[in-house]
């Protein structure tokens, strides 16, 4: 049989002396680096690639099953394609300049061939950049499922991947960082519990509605989570102006018309802000409930600012690289200029942090944060004093 001959070729051509190359495919770490390289290339040149992930119904490969798949891949793969071990017991194949539809066709040919050998595979396809609007991956998977149910090969299991490829670039949080987050968030919630009660009572007194504001944000790997803040605006306040403002900041960098436009907040004269709302915001007391998000693991003490979904809808591809690490309450952007910087400068700082983060860097950011807050408060008090003097002078005149 042809596959049997290919098995012998694969076994003889494997290079056991190479650390990252086993049985003709990349090791897991090396394959992850290849994926990162291809994402960077796609973001620069806008070339598309697809990732096909194979796994068995039982979840584990035996020697025969793996060799059968590798032999089949040697027949089907082009010279530019690359295969590797992917997140445990799965095997991934990167297809260059391949759409989701062509990637599914590639996967289907392999599954049908190996089904005849008694090997039942499950497969997922991820395409980058992700399709806009209606996903061709989902549509094609649905049609393949119908074919499988109608045909004789009903054992095929067609999965429909809803996630984007972005999730595979997410970096796991180091153990020491997670331990620091747990200790600090738990201690903070205990120590600040009287302040939580006081602020909750104040907010509910001056404005009907809940004391906490819950908002969907985008976190690690592009996954949404619910962020908690103390409510500083009226219930059901219109966010249209805020959406336009954010879009303007992002589009300015995208069109290279005003890349230097600072990330100034649009809330100083907002009529929807409740009494004491400005004070709560200026002192960053509204951010304290995010300690609960840190405790739950949705956020960290240190990391990029988690964006709002309608903000992400304006992102370019490379902007999403800031989702490679867990978002935080404070971060490199916050202590490097914050609202004095442009949107693109903020994104570049977040990506730089994601690539170079370390315990020492986190410690430095944590030490700088109170200093930055104190400096901002001093500036706000000075402006407030100047405003009072001007108003007093107008009254006397």
Low-confidence ranges of the chain (pLDDT < 50): 1-3, 5, 7-22, 133-160, 162, 255-257
Query: Is there a contact between 331 and 302 (Cβ–Cβ < 8 Å)?
Result: yes
d(CA 99, CA 119): 26
Of the candidates 294, 295, 312, the one whose C-alpha atom is nearest the C-alpha of residue 303 is 294
Compute how many other C-beta atoms are within 10 angstroms of the C-beta atom of residue 99. 18
Looking at residue 178, its pLDDT comes to 95
- Whether the full predicted model's pTM is greater than 0.85, yes or no, is no
Report the chain's C-alpha Rg in angstroms: 26
d(CA 325, CA 170): 6
Structure tokens at 266: 């649009």
d(CA 138, CA 161): 7
Q: Is the previous residue joined to 129 through a cis bond, with omega within 30 degrees of 0?
A: yes
Looking at residue 369, its pLDDT comes to 92
Query: H or E element: which one contains 63?
Result: helix 63-76
Question: What is the maximum alpha-carbon separation in the chain?
Answer: 102
CB half-sphere exposure, 50, CA atoms < 13 A: 24
The domains located in the chain, with CATH, are 2-169 (3.30.70.270), 175-396 (no CATH)
Query: Is there a contact between 106 and 47 (Cβ–Cβ < 8 Å)?
Result: no
Q: Which string of DSSP letters, residue by residue, matches 310-331?
A: HHHTT--GGGGGGGGS--EEE-
Looking at residue 307, its pLDDT comes to 93
d(CA 342, CA 261): 5
Find the angle CA(272)-CA(276)-CA(277) to the nearest 5 degrees: 45
Looking at residue 94, its pLDDT comes to 94
Q: What is the residue whose two structure tokens read 């867990």? A: 326
Helix (H, G, I), strand (E, B) or coil at 219: coil
Looking at residue 377, its pLDDT comes to 82
Q: What is the pLDDT of residues 365-380, one digit of tens each?
A: 999 999 988 888 887 6
């Amino acid at each position: 049989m042809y596959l049997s001959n290919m098995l012998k070729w694969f076994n003889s051509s494997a290079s056991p002396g190479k650390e990252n190359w086993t049985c003709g495919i990349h090791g897991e770490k090396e394959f992850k680096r290849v994926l990162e390289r291809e994402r960077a290339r796609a973001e620069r040149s806008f070339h598309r690639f697809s990732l096909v992930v194979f796994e068995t119904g039982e979840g584990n490969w035996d020697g025969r099953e793996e060799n059968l798949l590798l032999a089949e891949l040697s027949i089907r793969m082009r010279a530019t394609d690359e295969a590797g071990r992917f997140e445990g017991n799965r095997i991934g194949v990167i297809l260059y300049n391949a759409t989701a539809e062509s990637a599914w066709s590639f996967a289907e040919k392999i599954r049908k061939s190996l089904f005849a050998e008694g090997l039942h595979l499950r497969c997922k396809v991820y395409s980058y950049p992700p399709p806009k609007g209606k996903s061709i991956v989902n549509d094609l998977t649905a049609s393949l499922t119908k074919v499988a149910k109608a045909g004789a090969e009903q054992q095929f299991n067609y999965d429909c991947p809803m996630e984007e490829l972005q999730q595979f670039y997410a970096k796991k949080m180091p153990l020491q960082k997670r331990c620091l987050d747990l200790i600090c968030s738990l201690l903070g919630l205990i120590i600040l519990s009287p302040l939580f009660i006081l602020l909750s009572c104040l907010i509910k007194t001056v404005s009907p509605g809940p004391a906490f504001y819950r908002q969907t944000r985008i976190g690690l790997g592009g996954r949404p989570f619910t962020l908690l803040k103390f409510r500083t605006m009226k219930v059901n306040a219109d966010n249209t102006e805020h959406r336009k403002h954010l879009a303007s900041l992002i589009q300015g960098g995208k069109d290279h018309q005003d890349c230097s436009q600072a990330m100034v907040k649009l809330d100083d004269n907002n009529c929807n802000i409740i009494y004491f709302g400005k004070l709560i915001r200026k002192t960053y007391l509204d951010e304290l409930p995010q300690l609960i998000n840190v405790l739950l693991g949705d956020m960290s003490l240190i990391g990029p600012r988690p964006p709002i979904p309608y903000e992400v809808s304006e992102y370019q591809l490379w902007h999403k690289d800031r989702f490679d690490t867990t978002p935080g309450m404070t971060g490199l952007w916050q202590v490097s200029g914050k609202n004095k910087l442009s949107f693109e400068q903020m994104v570049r700082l977040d990506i730089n942090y994601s690539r170079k983060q370390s315990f020492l860097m986190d410690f430095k950011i944590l030490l700088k944060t109170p200093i930055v807050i104190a400096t901002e408060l001093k500036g706000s008090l000075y402006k407030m004093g100047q405003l009072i003097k001007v108003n007093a002078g107008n009254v006397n005149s």
